[in-house]
Structure 1
């Protein structure tokens, strides 16, 4: 008989609302049916599966030299720079299990998916912050590793800086070709996950029977869906109208990224319909957010107030209000109330950006306009990346 952990709960009331009255209702209409929730117990074993290959690298190297030096060795190995025989053996053993150019990979589709990620510019980052990231705090279990690694004490600005850095670097043109920086960032992130898991399991009172293994395969899939399907839903809500080719490219992009991150290939969705099913099963078996996730949501809400940019306190307060508006616009009132996010009047200035986005989408068929938006959007995201680094001391 399958052990059913505490974290596994049918019909999470928060996410049930999403699927019955929120934007999930449109997803189910697109899918054409409601997935059979009674079969969801078959996914429980994924809570106890994890990236053993990455953990072995951490145990063999990173635990001895520290994360910074271990990561530098990883980059040297990818760049084919000289490293000690022992360290080279560690990475040889790791990479012999990874085909960085699998038969199913289509670089053209990767390019199209990355271009879709860049062309909305700032709007992409708004969706990631105020929909994907904030919405993820409605689940208690997936966020427990953040608490155990001290992410709350380190502050939301640090996590946002890391997320923006990851996103911008992996969505640049040809970013995922080795040894380009995007490819390195993905493998480095994989090591971060393993380093966190090894240390949580070895140095804290983490209860795997209750929460599953930290950063397990099921939760890693959910994170992957956050960057693909949930991101796509948010873009549509903001007025972006991706083509079928762009949608196909987006899911192919995150199939490859997920594969490089160590997610089992067989559970990564190939398309939107498969992703909708996976998101339904994951969300509808989650416990609601708890005091830890509410604290994370509050920290993200107040991040603009404690940031160092803009320099004027009044402008930082305005930024918080604008993000609160986007939270309401993207997540809906029910979820925002669950997360303790207040409504705002001043933040309605954000509708100007939404109006601008919708107006630009109407011009996509003009010759050269889409390419122009990809270039300008990528530059806009890169500028935000630089701002985060400058003002958060990275």
Structure 2
């Protein structure tokens, strides 16, 4: 009989509000029914399921040479550069579990999904930061590995830099072709997860009976939904109106990325309706946030102040206010209050970008305009990636 961990609870107050009075109400209307919450119990075993092949790489190699050297070996293997017999054997065994070009993969859909991610430019990154990432802190359980690995002490800027690097690299043109950098970043991120899990279990007082296994399959699915469904909802809130082809492409993109990250293929949603149902089951069985929730949200809120860009403190303070406005606009007052995020007046300047985004979206039917926005959006995102990389080195 599967253990039911402390973290598993029906009808969390915060997320119940999301589905009854927040954006989730619209999603359920779109779905056409309210999923049967008792079905969620069948997902409890996923809290004790994890990426064993990835962990084996960490145990056999990364733990001996350190993460940086281990990651360099991974990249060398993908590039078919020479490795020691032991290193090659470790990765040979790992890649036996991965079909990098499965029968179900549609490269055209990957391209369209990545194009949708690029064409909103800065708006995509705003949605990721102020909606997907900040909103994810509302669950206490999924964030516990961050606390145990010291992410809070390292600062929000570092995690934001890593997230931007990962996301921008994998949505570039042909990024997921082997051996391109996006493909490498997905596998490197998988190693990060395994390295964290192995060390949390070996070196801390982590309670799996309370939280499940760190970075388990159920929580990895939730992260995947954050980049697919939640991202899509955020884009719509900002005025982006994706086509059906773009939506199908986005879910296919994250099906493939999720598969490469080690998420069981059978639980990754194929389309928006499946994703809505999966998000309902995950969110509605989460406990309310705790002091770590507020601490992580506060750190992300104050990240612009501690960053090195812009150089003027006043401008960094203004950026914080603008992000706070987006938090309220995207997450809603109830969630922001749960996260301990203040309201803002100055930050209302953000409406200019929302207005601009909606105005541009009306031109998507013009010949060549979508292609133009994809190119410009990619340039904006790459510039932000480089800025984060630069100030994270300071």
TM-score range, shorter chain: over 0.9
- CA deviations on 1:24-58 (whole Å, 9 max, x unpaired) are 00000110000000111111000000000000000
Instruction: Show the counterpart of 1:154.
Output: 154
Q: Which runs of 4+ in 1 moved over 4 A?
A: none
Q: Could you tell me which residue of structure 2 aligns to residue 267 of structure 1?
A: 267
Distance in 1, matches of 2:287 and 2:208, equals: 15
Residue 89 of structure 1 corresponds to 89
Partner of 1:66: 66
Partners of 1:118 and 1:354 lie apart in 2 by 17
SS in 2 for 1:185: helix
Please show how residues 93-172 of structure 1 align to structure 2 within 5 Å.
93-172=93-172
Q: Does residue 303 in structure 1 map to residue 266 in structure 2?
A: no
CA deviations on 1:263-290 (whole Å, 9 max, x unpaired) are: 0000000000000000000000001111
Match of 1:205 in 2: 205
Match of 1:354 in 2: 354
Q: State the 1:4 CA deviation.
A: 1.1
User: Matched residue pairs, number?
Assistant: 394
Secondary structure at 2:379's aligned position in 1?
A: helix
CA distance in 1, matches of 2:214, 2:318: 36
**How is 1:230-241 mapped onto 2 (pairs within 5 angstroms)?**
230-241=230-241
Q: SS of the residue aligned with 1:363?
A: coil
Counterpart of 1:19 in structure 2 is: 19
Say which SS state the counterpart of residue 288 (structure 2) adopts.
coil
Query: In structure 1, what is the Cα distance between the partners aligned to 2:177 and 2:3?
Result: 41
Q: CA deviation at 1:294?
A: 0.8
Counterparts of 1:251 and 1:50, CA distance in 2: 22
- The separation in 1 between residues aligned to 2:60 and 2:254, in whole angstroms, is 29
| Counterpart check, 1:80 vs 2:80 | yes
Distance 1:92 1:167 in 2: 27
> CA offsets, 1:156-210, max 9 Å, x none?
0000000000011000000000100000000000000000000000000000000
Q: Give the SS at the match of 1:383.
A: helix
1:323 is matched with 323
Give ranges in structure 1 of 5+ residues lacking alignment. none
Q: Deviations over 1:42-81 (max 9, x none)?
A: 1100000000000000000000000000000000000000
Q: How big is each residue's C-alpha offset from its partner over 1:201-244, in whole Å with a ceiling of 9 and x where there is no partner?
A: 00000000000000000000000000000000000000000000
**How far has the Cα of 1:2 moved from its partner?**
3.1
- 1:148 Cα deviation after fit: 0.2
Q: TM-score, normalised by structure 1?
A: 1.00
Secondary structure at 1:392's aligned position in 2?
helix
2-structure distance, mates of 1:87, 1:135: 39
Equivalent position SS for 1:254: helix
How far apart in 2 are the matches of 1:293 and 1:145?
12
Matched, 1:196 2:202: no
The 2-side partners of 1:195 and 1:267 are apart by 23
Unaligned runs of 5+ in 2: none
In structure 2, distance between residues paired with 1:392 and 1:101: 35
Q: Deviations over 1:339-391 (max 9, x none)?
A: 00000000000000000000000000000000000000000000000111111
Hey, what's the Cα distance between the residues in 2 that align with 1:213 and 1:267?
17
**Partner Cα separation in structure 2 for residue 277 and residue 314 of structure 1:** 43
Separation of aligned partners in 2, 1:390 and 1:376: 21
Q: Secondary structure at the match of 2:263?
A: coil
Question: What TM-score, normalized by structure 2, do the two folds share?
Answer: 1.00
Match of 1:375 in 2: 375
Aligned to 2:251: 251
Q: In the alignment, which residue of structure 1 is the partner of 2:365?
A: 365
Deviation per residue, 1:111-156 (Å, 9 max, x gap): 0000000000000000000000000011000000000000000000
3-state SS, counterpart of residue 137 of structure 2: helix
Following the alignment from structure 2 to structure 1, what is the Cα–Cα distance between the partners of residues 15 and 221?
A: 17
Structure 2 counterpart of 1:38: 38
